[in-house]
A and B are shown apart, each in its own frame.
Chain A
């Protein structure tokens, strides 16, 4: 071509053209051959790889949350159940302006300030990709209105959800507890314990109470659905399904009607009530007043309610029965009496002279009896019936704190009872070693004296006292207290019984126990400190009153009930069991700032016994206000 213009040879030109065409054809073959090799490589050599990728593309495993088990009381009354309802949910990560969206939504369905606050709180606690409820429990009209306007809110999802509901609300909240949304901390724990896969479809777990301690049984096993999804992640159809296994139902030993009657008997008073079946350790009633409504917590509590609950001076969130730590006061005396007899420091016949106070030899400090004039000559029986302090000052001094500690420890003081909910307090049953460890101080002889009447370093929970009372009622055989009587798995024909767990057996000299039990019976009879509560009972019952000091009384100062503010009044205690000859129920009653045990706490026990043993309901609800009649402790 660079040879310049020349006359072309047509034949040669045609030949060259055809050669080039042939080259073109060869290129076509070569290139298509290349394509074919590529197809072969993808579709034959690597087919399996791409087949897997295509399957992964289209198939997604969707967890299906199991239904949570129900919680019912011993008579089948429902304490926790599920119902389904519609919620409106927002995934904050997909929305530009959440507030604006909620504003628009509120024109369609009612969104209260409370809903907004709760949503805000959830927003702070969760991650952006989580779907959070803005409105729960929509009624049919609201659902219809939303559906009609759905096109305007592509970011908002209408979901049918199972909701946990506690029909007894405040009444059982301190036993049942509540579930709450799984937060970051819960998630971390689930992952650490390897349970996270089972919770992939779940939004909630038990946070407190039985809901927490029986989480494993209640939750059940997650199911899985293999679904075909499209590129947008929408489910096209289900391919296969492994159904979830619903959680087991819990059948409690709790008698919610008993609990209700007791609750009413408390009226507006704060306090705690624990009832245990002595032979088995089954908890029959477990009340902490005031309670709270666990339903508020299920989908995140709003700040207003939270504020109200957490700052209330009545501390409704505090579980007094489980965690409240009070000096046991004179309810400690039966245990002291047993220690005195069993350890040989006293005989039933031993008497002391009570001048109204006790002094340590070589000291001048007066440990005063509640009765300033003294009780005169007092033996063991009388010491319990009239609750003589001086008798126990001397006994404590003779026993020494470490003997008291090791003997009375057998009743469960100073340690957890092992009840089947978490968060139990241990209380304090002091010893020299304990003081050294805790206060880095030597134990003084004077420290022992007030221990004898359940004051000083002594601290116990209502649960511990009910348990200790049950041990006396059960002739020294300690049974582990527990709420759950049976666990009903869905696939089992019969519920599995929770076997009573014996803790320890106290090796009394049997006569000693009879003596103390007899004295406790006389406490509820004429002349006893709980005579009024025991009047006309159709069964024999044993009890012991007590008073827990809230403020210290100075030497030579009389405790004048009328002068102290209500919050500084003593707490009233009463422990009891009935029927005395064959105990079915042992209780501990604590009325905060109730003053004397005999007048405020004991009547509640009587009401409980009347109902539990005889089926009698109290004629009036609530207890009579304390009268001014001089009452003993």
Chain B
């Protein structure tokens, strides 16, 4: 009797938790806490706050993991519409922080509606393709693309180019997995390439300067280039095995900017070197591999598209952040998933994991 209760409680708690995914995520979180302690200047308070963030994120993930995909599907459209309205609200009444209008005061606190869109957009696009699964045609792709373009345009206008790009990436993955024709993709690539010179010619001088700085940070070593130069120095000086935990000079002497958030990977690189970086890449690949397996085994088009898109979006976040810190991608405000300090991004990512787990653990009943 007692064993039965225990077993039921166990099933309730972890019944919808995917063990493999969980394992990889916990490993990455542990790495994140380790490096956060160093990056924050050995601040216990930061670690505590991050634990709270994790608790919230885990709870959110657990809740979502326990919701069957079909219910999630029914949430898609309301979430999308709410997200769009909030984005409109931001555009009209949003607070300006650091020169960008991204936050909306909803009475109890400020929210960043673009975070909501990160989930809502792939959810909605997957719902859309699922709904028209039987009669999928070019027209549907066009409508799906429209679903994508509207929120992305609103976010880009805030301006929050980083988020806009990442959200369009997540939407693109849905299109890609839904079977977007190669010809269209090649065509889009050509059009994008061709439009770059045109774009350059209509850009303001300061925007061109910014692009130039992205391409060659040494042209502005004290301004925008400073971050990337110092980050690259941190990574490079880490060497093969790193300077050791808590021993990064770039980190501890304040040369690294944003070192608990967007640039935390530089701290990691400096202190743990190429060996640490490789292990971190493996950790991310474990998460991604599990996500792709879940997608491959998913039983509905909705689940497949959503799982694939979420997984690839997670990859994109990690790739863009590490590429930015190591100086091969422009500096856009993207945190390193599971490693960077901060609650909002963590919750969003865990919501994604919750969806993956829901898809994985509900598939028997769904089929």
Interface residues of A (CB under 8 A from B): 1-2, 4-8, 13, 16-18, 20-21, 24-25, 28-29, 31-32, 34-36, 38-40, 42-44, 46-47, 49-51, 53-55, 57-58, 228-232, 236
Query: Cβ of A50: which chain B residues have Cβ within 8 Å of it?
Result: 232-233, 235-237
Establish whether residues A43 and B235, one from each chain, have CB atoms under 8 Å apart when the complex forms: yes
Contacts of A24 in B (CB 8 A): 173, 176-177, 292, 308, 311-312
Closest Cβ of chain B to A27, distance in Å, is 8
With A1-B137, A20-B179 given, is the CB distance from A49 to B236 under 8 Å? yes
With A24-B312, A46-B236, A53-B237 known as contacts, the answer to whether A231 contacts B138 (CB < 8 A) is: no
Chain B hits for A35, CB < 8 A: 281, 319, 322-323, 326, 328
Q: Which of the candidate stretches B5-13, B151-159, B250-258 sits at the interface with the other chain? A: B250-258
A residues in contact with B38, CB < 8 Å: none
**Assuming the A-B contacts A20-B176, A39-B326, are A8 and B136 also in contact, with contact meaning beta carbons closer than 8 angstroms in the complex?**
yes
With both chains docked as a complex, state the minimum distance between the C-beta of B235 and any C-beta of chain A, in angstroms: 5
**Alpha-carbon gap, A321 to B135, bound state (A):** 114
Known: A36-B278, A47-B239, A54-B233. A28 touches B253 (CB 8 A): no
- B residues 302-349 near A (Cβ < 8 Å) are 304, 308, 311-312, 315, 319, 322-323, 326-328
Give the Cβ gap from A93 to chain B, nearest Cβ, in Å: 16
User: Nearest CB to that of B274 among chain A residues?
Assistant: A43
Identify B133's interface contact among A8, A38, A51, CB under 8 A: A8
Task: List chain B positions with a Cβ less than 8 A from chain A.
Answer: 133-138, 141, 173, 176-177, 179-181, 230, 232-240, 249-250, 253-255, 269, 273-274, 277-278, 281, 284-285, 288-289, 292, 295-296, 301, 304, 308, 311-312, 315, 319, 322-323, 326-328
B238 touching A43, Cβ below 8 Å: yes
Q: How far is the CA of A17 from the CA of B237 in the complex (A)?
A: 43
A-B contact pairs, 13 of them (CB 8 A): A13-B179, A17-B179, A34-B328, A39-B269, A39-B274, A39-B277, A43-B273, A47-B237, A47-B240, A50-B235, A53-B236, A57-B250, A232-B254
Interface of A, helix, strand, loop or mixed by DSSP: helix
Q: Which residues of B contact A20 (CB under 8 A)?
A: 176-177, 179, 308
* Of the residues A2, A32, A58, contact of B253 by C-beta under 8 Å: A58
Do residues B274 and A18 form an inter-chain contact, with CB atoms below 8 A? no
Query: Would B292 and A43 count as touching, CB distance under 8 A?
Result: no
B296 touches A21 (CB 8 A): yes
Task: Please name all residues of chain A whose beta carbon is closer than 8 Å to the beta carbon of B250 when the two chains form the complex.
Answer: 54, 57-58
Closest-by-CB residue of A relative to B255 is A231
Chain A residues within an 8 Å CB radius of B292: 21, 24-25
Question: How many angstroms from the CA of A50 to the CA of B235 in the assembled complex?
Answer: 8
CA distance A16 to B178 in the complex (A): 9
Cα A279 to Cα B323 in complex, Å, equals: 84
Cross-chain contact B319 with A57 (CB below 8 angstroms): no
Residues on A with beta carbons closer than 8 Å to the beta carbon of B296: 17-18, 21
A228–B232 touching, CB < 8 Å: no
Q: A18-B296, A50-B237 are in contact. List 12 more A-B contacts (CB 8 A).
A: A24-B176, A24-B308, A25-B292, A34-B328, A35-B328, A38-B323, A42-B236, A43-B238, A49-B236, A50-B232, A54-B249, A57-B249
Contact at A229–B253, with CB atoms within 8 Å?
yes
Distance in Å: Cβ of B316 to nearest Cβ of chain A: 9
User: A-B pairs with the 6 shortest C-beta distances?
Assistant: A50-B236, A54-B237, A231-B254, A42-B236, A230-B253, A5-B135
A16 to B179, CA, bound (A): 8
Residues on the A chain within 8 Å of B274, using CB: 39-40, 43-44
Nearest B residue (CB) for A31: B319
Query: With A and B bound together, what is the CA distance between A187 and B183 in angstroms?
Result: 71
Residue of A nearest to B295 (CB): A21
Complex contacts, B278 vs chain A, CB 8 Å: 36, 39
**B286, chain A: closest CB distance, angstroms:** 11
| Residues of chain A with a CB closer than 8 A to B319's CB | 31-32, 35
Q: Give which listed residue, A4, A13, A21, A232, contacts B308 with CB less than 8 A.
A: A21
A36 to B304, CA, bound (A): 29
Inter-chain CA distance A54–B243, complex, in Å, is 11
A36–B273 Cα distance when bound, in Å, is 12
Q: A608 CB to closest chain B CB, in angstroms? A: 65
What's the minimum C-beta distance from B330 to chain A, rounded to whole angstroms?
Answer: 14
When chains A and B are docked, how far (Å) is the Cα of A58 from the Cα of B319? 30
> How far does the alpha carbon of A10 sit from the alpha carbon of B224 in the complex, in Å?
51
Q: How far is the CB of B98 from chain A (nearest CB, A)?
A: 20
Chain A residues near B328 (CB-CB < 8 A): 34-35, 38
Complex Cα distance, B234 from A230, in Å, reads 14
Neighbouring B residues of A21 by C-beta, 8 Å = 177, 292, 295-296, 308
Contact A44 B134 (CB under 8 A): no
Quote the shortest CB–CB distance from B275 to chain A (angstroms). Answer: 9
Chain A nearest CB from B278 CB (Å) reads 7
Chain A residues lying within 8 Å of B249, measured Cβ to Cβ, are: 54-55, 57-58, 228
Which residues on the B side are within 8 Å of A1 (C-beta)?
Answer: 136-138, 141, 179-181
| Chain A residue nearest to B320 in the complex (CB) | A31
The smallest C-beta distance from A47 to any residue of chain B, in angstroms, reads 5
Q: Please, which residue of chain B has its CB at the minimum distance from the CB of A46?
A: B236
In the complex formed, the residue of A with least CB distance to B273 is A43
- Cβ of B195 to closest chain A Cβ, rounded Å: 23
Q: Which residues of chain A have C-beta atoms less than 8 A from B235's C-beta?
A: 39, 42-43, 50
On chain B, the residues within 8 Å of A57 by CB distance are 230, 233, 249-250, 253, 255
Whole-angstrom distance between the alpha carbons of A58 and B138 in the complex? 59
Instruction: Give complex CA distance A32, B323 in Å.
Output: 9
Interface centre among A16, A21, A32, A229 (most CB of B within 10 A): A21
A residues in contact with B281, CB < 8 Å: 32, 35-36
Shortest distance in angstroms between B340's beta carbon and chain A's nearest beta carbon?
17
A44 in contact with B233 (CB, 8 Å): no
Q: Are B237 and A38 in contact (CB under 8 A)?
A: no
Question: Which of B180, B277, B322 is close to A43, meaning CB atoms less than 8 Å apart?
Answer: B277
Q: Which residues of B contact A16 (CB under 8 A)?
A: 179
Please name the residue on chain B nearest to A18 by beta carbon.
B296
Chain A's closest residue to B316 (CB) is: A31
Q: How far is the CB of A129 from chain B (nearest CB, A)?
A: 16
Report how far A49 CA is from B232 CA in the complex, Å: 11
B254 contact set on A, CB distance < 8 A: 230-232
Smallest beta-carbon distance A57→chain B, Å: 5
* Closest Cβ–Cβ distance, residue A172 to chain B (whole Å): 49
How far is it, in angstroms, between the C-alpha of A5 and the C-alpha of B133 when the chains are bound? 10
Instruction: Give which listed residue, B173, B236, B273, B284, contacts A32 with CB less than 8 A.
Output: B284
Closest to B236 in A: A50
Cα of A38 to Cα of B232 in the assembled complex, Å: 11
Cα–Cα distance between A229 and B254 once the two chains are bound (Å): 9
Report the separation of the CA atoms of residues A55 and B239 in the bound assembly, to the nearest whole angstrom. Answer: 13
Residues of B within 8 A of A5 (CB): 135-137
Measured in the bound complex, the distance between the Cα atoms of B307 and A17 in whole Å is 12
**Closest beta carbon of chain B to A39's beta carbon, Å:** 5
B288 cross-chain contacts in A, Cβ below 8 A: 25, 28
- In the bound complex, do residue B304 and residue A17 qualify as a contact, i.e. CB atoms below 8 Å apart? yes
A236 to B304, CA, bound (A): 55
Q: Which residues of A contact B255 (CB under 8 A)?
A: 57-58, 230-231
